[in-house]
Structure 1
């Protein structure tokens, strides 16, 4: 057993390993969720429509939205525990990973294969090309929205943190996420429609009222998820600060300035 300075060095090594492992887990969850939502994208719309006072309220939700709230929770954890620099770095890494995904899909469609991008009798392309078409459109739309929303989330998180002097954790968690998720939802829906044409918009009806239904539904889902994740964010931050031996609000790694 170590004692004295040797014990302090050994404990410091254990804590440093914990901090890097926690960061890697959060980063993996973030990047995995980002990749998943672009692959799923608008391949299927879930129907959460309901009747209120005898009136049908449409609530279509793209299946790709399901993992998205986790990305904001991960960046909030990293912003709180590791500082703005690491959070911004992770946002850019996620952007690069999804560009890599788009490149693989694009090249995969150019190389010779046993099937061709020709619609079958049912009017559908072979499976890979259907996925490729929807995913490339989703990536183009979501990457613009992604950068805008994630960078907005990180900046607002630290704005609220400075404004409140590090107090009111709920405010910087929700105040950053709710604004940035509206930015994301508005951008991804409008770009997906006007650039990729991948939304099930009814012909012969005004476009914008239909787009606002998709925007409102996506945002309400993210809004509810942001409010719900306040509790795990509080509990997770409290536990991780003890586990990572953080005594103040300073970031635990060199160069992780907030």
Structure 2
């Protein structure tokens, strides 16, 4: 009834604003993963997590909401935009590393860090002595960005495809099933891929054990799994509010 009292232009404006908001949160969480990535690991209860992972479960909530409210094409469009941004971030990082640094004599003092002893890096190399801050960050994050991009491609498209496959099989019923089912499977793909690609070099070099890798993998997945289960009432509440707010009361209309 609310949608009948609102003009089509107003409804369209609402739909685009909500889509922009959801896409913004999605892209922000994805970018955080790339920017802060594995720069720090934190202990969250029994789980050992890279700080970049903390906001990442939000991407699956946004993907499922857009899939439910706007349809598969919009969800895939947002995922594709995220892929382009991943490539852009990786390209800017590569270019910044390739360009020559300014003369050490005029560099600000915080741009160079003195390291106590030799420090191993995720790409299998090691550094020691005075090291440029950007070089250290690049060595720690460039591989993680590539890993997150590979995991992103696999996980996010799997999430959208599985969400709509379950929705079709259940004839649009059981939102909890397609929300959790698609997310739990796609996050397993994401957790395994990102850890293996990020730490593959040091694992093969024998500088990191399989036990440590599996611990990180399990911690990542458990955190994402718990987050997915906890967001079930959130997605129900948001869909219940947003469908009439966006004029998508009819189930067929949500497919558009």
- TM-score after normalising by structure 1: 0.84
Aligned residues: 234
Gaps of 5+ in 2: 105-110, 117-127
Q: Tell me whether 1:87 sits opposite 2:89 in the alignment.
A: no
Q: Map 1:67-106; keep pairs closer than 5 Å.
A: 67-106=55-94
d(CA) in 2 for partners of 1:220, 1:107: 36
- 1:192 to partner: Cα distance: 0.5
* Distance in 2 separating the partners of 1:65 and 1:23: 23
3-state SS, counterpart of residue 102 of structure 2: coil
Aligned to 1:228: 230
Match of 2:33 in 1: 37
**In structure 2, which of residues 173, 177, 187 is the aligned counterpart of residue 181 of structure 1?**
187
**TM-score, length-scaled by structure 2:** 0.84
1:47 aligned counterpart, secondary structure: strand
Q: Distance in 2 between matches of 1:251 and 1:63?
A: 39
2:14 touches 2:246 (CA, 8 Å); kept in 1? yes
Which is worse superposed, 170-179 or 100-109? 100-109
Contact map agreement 1:174 1:227 (CA 8 A) in 2: yes
What is the deviation of 1:113?
2.5
**Which of 45, 48, 51 matches 1:63?**
51
Deviation at 1:250? Answer: 3.0
Please tell me whether the aligned partners of residues 115 and 126 of structure 1 are also in contact (alpha carbons under 8 angstroms): no
Rounded to whole Å, the distance in 1 between the matches of 2:51 and 2:17 is 30
1:249 deviation in Å? 2.2
Extract unaligned runs of 5+ from structure 1: 1-7, 51-58
Residues 101 and 22 of structure 1: is their aligned pair in 2 closer, same or farther, counting only changes over 3 Å?
Answer: same
Q: Report the equivalent of 2:13.
A: 17
Q: Matched residues in 2 for 1:172 and 1:110: separation? A: 44
> Closer, same or farther in 2 for the Cα pair 1:244/1:85, shift >3 Å?
same
Report the counterpart of residue 48 of structure 1 in structure 2.
44
